[in-house]
Structure 1
Amino acid sequence: MSERHTVLRSLHDVGLAAWFGGSLMGAVGLNGAAKREGADWQQGARIASAGWSLWAPVGAVAIGAHLVGSGGLLGANAARVLTQQGVAASTLAKTALTGAALAATVYGRVLGKKIELASSGTPQDAEKAERLPADIRQAERHLSYVQWAVPALTCGLIVLNALHAEQQRPAQQLYGVLRRARTLAPYVMSIHHWYRTH
Structure 2
Amino acid sequence: MTTTTDNHFLAQAVHDLGSALWFGGSVMGIAGVNKSGQELSTGIDKVRVASSAWGRFAPAQWGGIAATLVTGVQLTRSNQGRLALQQGYGRVGAVKAALTVAGAGATAFAAYSGAKIGKLAEQEKGGDGSLDVKDATLPSAGTPPEIVKWQARQRFTQAAVPALAGGVIVCNAWLVQSYRPLSTVKGLLSRVLPG
Query: What TM-score do the two structures reach when normalised by structure 2?
Result: 0.82
Q: Is contact 2:107-2:157 (8 Å) kept?
A: yes
Aligned-partner Cα distance in 1 for 2:65–2:13: 13
Q: What are structure 1's unaligned runs of at least 5 residues?
A: 124-133, 185-198
Aligned-partner Cα distance in 2 for 1:71–1:152: 21
Partner of 1:59: 61
Alignment counterpart, residue 118 of structure 2, candidates 112, 116, 119:
116
Q: Does residue 180 of structure 1 match 2:191? A: yes
Partner of 1:11: 14
Instruction: Choose between structure 1 and 2: higher helix proportion.
Output: 1
> What is the CA-CA distance between 1:38 and the residue it aligns to?
2.5
Partner of 2:23: 20
| Residue aligned with 1:120, SS | helix
User: Alpha carbon RMSD of aligned pairs, Å?
Assistant: 2.1
Cα–Cα, structure 1 residues 50 and 178, in superposed 2: closer, same or farther, change >3 Å?
Answer: same
Aligned-partner Cα distance in 2 for 1:3–1:166: 15
Q: Does residue 107 of structure 1 match 2:91? A: no
Identity %: 34
Alignment counterpart, residue 171 of structure 2, candidates 160, 165, 168:
160
Q: Does residue 170 of structure 1 match 2:184? A: no
Aligned-partner Cα distance in 2 for 1:177–1:144: 43
Return the index of the structure with the highest Cα Rg.
Answer: 1
Aligned-partner Cα distance in 1 for 2:169–2:152: 27
Q: Give aligned pairs, total.
A: 173
Q: Is contact 1:11-1:68 (8 Å) kept?
A: no
Q: Is contact 1:10-1:69 (8 Å) kept?
A: no
- Deviation digits for residues 42-77 of structure 1 (CA, Å, limit 9, x no counterpart): 221111101000001111111111111101000011
Q: Residue type of the partner of 1:26?
A: G
Partner of 1:141: 152
Partner of 2:128: none
Aligned-partner Cα distance in 1 for 2:49–2:194: 57
Query: What TM-score do the two structures reach when normalised by structure 1?
Result: 0.81
Aligned-partner Cα distance in 2 for 1:85–1:40: 57
